[in-house]
Amino acid sequence: MRGYCFTKRFPLRYTDFDFKDELSLTSLLGIIQEAATGSADELGFGYYDLKPKNFGFLVVNTYGEIYRQPMFGETLCVETWPLPPRHVFFERDYRVLGEDEQPVAAAASRWCLVDLASFSLLSADALGEANAKCPYNPEKSITVPNWKVKRMGEGKEVYRTTVRQSLCDHYLHLNNTRYSDLFMDCLSMDALKGRTLKSFHISYSKQAKEGSELTLLAEESEKGLLAAVKMGEETLTEACFTFAEKRN
């Protein structure tokens, strides 16, 4: 018998696509996270379940692979489920299927449950009955090569930006899905137009709030792009992207 799986369909909009008519990474991350929140709500540990306790889930890593680019107007089906917690890490996997029911992408993420008053890490026991009754599913949709993102050598500063309120979520910090825009903006249209994204790995370490001044650093190679977001000397987020030649 197949284990627990939450399913949600997402009709794709024109605004989900980039200048190459490809689904933007921010939109892809947005729909898998939307599915994740739907699953958490269903299982009793969603945002409104945790808010009275002043608890929250914060993402630590997201890794994914893209198998094909969807089309305008296509409806994608996202399947997601939580894996059994390990220490303070809560893993969740995703499958993204096209209208032909064939894989478009797969992803995995790691989260931490945090006491928002002290920012101390909590175990699954803090979820109480929701944890005891959760139908955790050990199935993996994808193999993560390494949860640690490969670090740049020296890297070069590409640009600087300031976090504005429109980028922030209900935890009052830069929404995790928006980091992908910051990273992709390290490359120009000319640098991207002949390539399509094949894999992504983003590791989140520290939070950026409204007014934070960020520096984007990047190092490009034949294999892809390594990038980091810094605030002063502190590294907030790191990422690794690989690309393939874009076919017409």
21 and 69 belong to one structural domain: yes
Task: Reply yes or no on whether the pLDDT at 74 is more than 80.
Answer: yes
236 and 158 belong to one structural domain: yes
- Whole-angstrom distance, CA of residue 109 vs CA of residue 83: 10
Rg (CA), the chain: 18
122 and 1 belong to one structural domain: yes
Query: What is the tens place of the pLDDT at every residue in 148-172?
Result: 998 888 889 999 999 999 999 988 9
Query: What is the tens place of the pLDDT at every residue in 202-247?
Result: 999 999 999 999 999 999 977 799 999 999 999 999 999 999 988 7
50 and 30 belong to one structural domain: yes
41 and 113 belong to one structural domain: yes
- In 3D space, the residue among 98, 112, 142 whose CA is nearest the CA of residue 203 turns out to be 112
Domain boundary among 94, 112, 143: 143
Domain boundary among 124, 143, 162: 143
84 and 192 belong to one structural domain: no
- In 3D space, the residue among 145, 198, 202 whose CA is nearest the CA of residue 175 turns out to be 202
Task: Reply yes or no on whether the pLDDT at 96 is more than 70.
Answer: yes
106 and 167 belong to one structural domain: no
Domain holding 222, by residue range, is 148-248
- In 3D space, the residue among 24, 87, 25, 28 whose CA is nearest the CA of residue 60 turns out to be 87
Mean pLDDT of 2-17: 95
Domain boundary among 143, 178, 208: 143
Phi (first) and psi of residue 72, to 5 degrees: -55, 135
Tokens standing for residue 64: 């994914």
Q: What is the CATH number of the domain that holds 8?
A: 3.10.129.10
Q: What's the domain count of the chain?
A: 2
Q: What 3-state DSSP class applies to 85? A: coil
23 and 124 belong to one structural domain: yes
100 and 179 belong to one structural domain: no
